[in-house]
């Protein structure tokens, strides 16, 4: 494994919202390169703890190796699991009460650039795309070999907003018996063939959208986020904070809608004299608008450009 590299995004903003104090415990649902976890460990020293999760065994192993001789290694539990099971993992480790939970959704720079899993269209690699390479969940190559035209079209359209989704899916299904699509270059060739010649100079836009869409499907990214949010809010004690960083508008929408719902109290019609629904808000929104990266951060790390941070405090 190469060094697990990732520059944390919106780190200062996340810390400001989580406001870690000595002795606090936190859950980092997406360990990645460990940027958030290390900052939380240092701010909660000498006794605070972090339970960090990641789907990628490489992230877990690299982190354990990196901190093994540090004092903080005794205060962190790194768990290889899906954040959609955060409540179960926290209970299993009898961890908490937690002051806050943070998730930095998506993929690390390591997974994009160095893992050799075919997530980037710019490298000739096998089309795997899974964050969790330890399991036997379907790879991108499997989906491209087995899924029907309609299913592929909706993946490219819904998760990638690709204009030529239908043509690309049709070409994949028509040609795949003769030319197996197992490598990134097989897929980029089919995409290039599927878009009109006059637009082919912009083919890399379609590559990016289709690759992103496949990655989201392979890793069930939206479904996992939808499961994670209520679980995370559920395990927080009153006063605990949930902070989520997203990089994609579909994810940001899921987070925003969940937070608005959690913070909504009575839903009785306005002309009702008294409340009969009995609903009270379960959380307070801490970010009226999503927090985004400032120009200095974006100039140093282009990944920060699309990052959006939203947070709530449990009531």
- For ligand SAM, the closer CB: 30 or 171: 30
Residue 140 CB, shortest distance to ligand SAM, in Å, is: 15
- For ligand SAM, the closer CB: 168 or 309: 309
- For ligand SAM, the closer CB: 4 or 164: 4
- For ligand SAM, the closer CB: 50 or 191: 50
Task: Please provide the size of the chain in residues.
Answer: 315
Q: For residues 206, 210, 212 and 215, what is the CA-based torsion angle, rounded to 10 degrees?
A: -160
- For ligand SAM, the closer CB: 82 or 167: 82
Cα 268–chain centre separation: 35
- Note the helical H segments in the chain: 11-18, 35-44, 57-67, 86-92, 109-113, 140-146, 149-160, 165-175, 184-194, 203-218, 221-235, 249-262, 295-300
Residue 131 CB, shortest distance to ligand SAM, in Å, is: 4
Residue 186 CB, shortest distance to ligand SAM, in Å, is: 25
End-to-end CA gap in the chain: 43
Neighbour order of strands in the sheet with 25-28: 76-80, 49-54, 25-28, 100-104, 241-246, 308-314, 283-285
Q: Read off the tokens for 282.
A: 């379960």
Taking the C-alpha atoms of residue 275 and residue 193, their distance in angstroms, rounded to an integer, is 60
Q: Read off the tokens for 261.
A: 């719902």
Task: Give me the phi and psi of 27, to 5 degrees please.
Answer: -110, 125
Residue 198 CB, shortest distance to ligand SAM, in Å, is: 37
Residue 243 CB, shortest distance to ligand SAM, in Å, is: 11
Residue 28 CB, shortest distance to ligand SAM, in Å, is: 7
- Note the helical H segments in 19-148: 35-44, 57-67, 86-92, 109-113, 140-146
- For ligand SAM, the closer CB: 168 or 222: 222
Point out which residues pair with 241 in neighbouring strands.
Answer: 100, 313
Taking the C-alpha atoms of residue 126 and residue 141, their distance in angstroms, rounded to an integer, is 8
- For ligand SAM, the closer CB: 164 or 258: 258
Residue 129 CB, shortest distance to ligand SAM, in Å, is: 12
Chain residues that interact with ligand SAM, rule: CB under 6 A: 6, 8, 30, 32-36, 53-56, 59, 82-84, 104, 106-108, 111, 131, 219, 224
List Cα–Cα distances, 201 to 143, 197, 207, in angstroms: 27, 8, 12
Closest residue to ligand SAM in the complex (CB): 32
Residue 170 CB, shortest distance to ligand SAM, in Å, is: 30
- For ligand SAM, the closer CB: 102 or 312: 102
List Cα–Cα distances, 66 to 11, 15, 35, 131, 197, in angstroms: 20, 22, 12, 20, 49
């Amino acid at each position: 494994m190469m060094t697990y590299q990732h520059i944390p995004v919106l780190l200062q903003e996340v810390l400001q919202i989580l406001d870690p104090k000595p002795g606090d415990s936190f859950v980092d649902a997406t360990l990645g390169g460990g940027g958030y976890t290390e900052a939380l460990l240092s701010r909660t020293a000498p006794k605070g703890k972090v339970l960090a999760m990641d789907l990628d065994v490489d992230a877990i192993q690299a982190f354990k190796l990196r901190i093994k001789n540090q004092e903080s290694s005794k205060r962190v539990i790194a768990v290889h699991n899906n954040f959609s099971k955060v409540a179960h993992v926290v209970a299993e480790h009898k961890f908490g009460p937690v002051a806050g939970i943070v998730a930095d959704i998506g993929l690390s720079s390591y997974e994009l650039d160095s893992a050799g899993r075919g997530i980037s269209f710019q490298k000739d690699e096998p089309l795997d795309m899974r964050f969790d390479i330890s399991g036997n969940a379907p790879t991108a190559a499997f989906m491209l070999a087995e899924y029907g035209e309609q299913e592929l079209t909706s993946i490219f359209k819904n998760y990638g907003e690709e204009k030529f989704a239908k043509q690309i899916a049709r070409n994949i299904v028509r040609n795949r018996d003769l030319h197996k699509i197992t490598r990134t270059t097989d897929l980029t060739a089919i995409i290039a063939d599927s878009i009109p010649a006059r637009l082919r100079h912009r083919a890399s836009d379609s590559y990016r959208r289709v690759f992103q869409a496949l990655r989201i499907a392979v890793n069930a990214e939206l479904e996992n986020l939808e499961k994670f949010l209520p679980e995370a809010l559920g395990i927080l004690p009153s006063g605990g904070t949930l902070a989520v960083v997203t990089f994609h508008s579909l994810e940001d929408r899921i987070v925003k809608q969940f937070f608005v719902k959690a913070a909504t109290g009575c839903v009785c019609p306005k002309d009702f004299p008294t409340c009969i629904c009995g609903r009270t808000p379960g959380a307070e929104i801490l970010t009226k608008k999503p927090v985004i990266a400032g120009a200095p951060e974006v100039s140093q790390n282009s990944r920060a450009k699309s990052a959006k941070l939203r947070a709530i405090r449990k009531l």
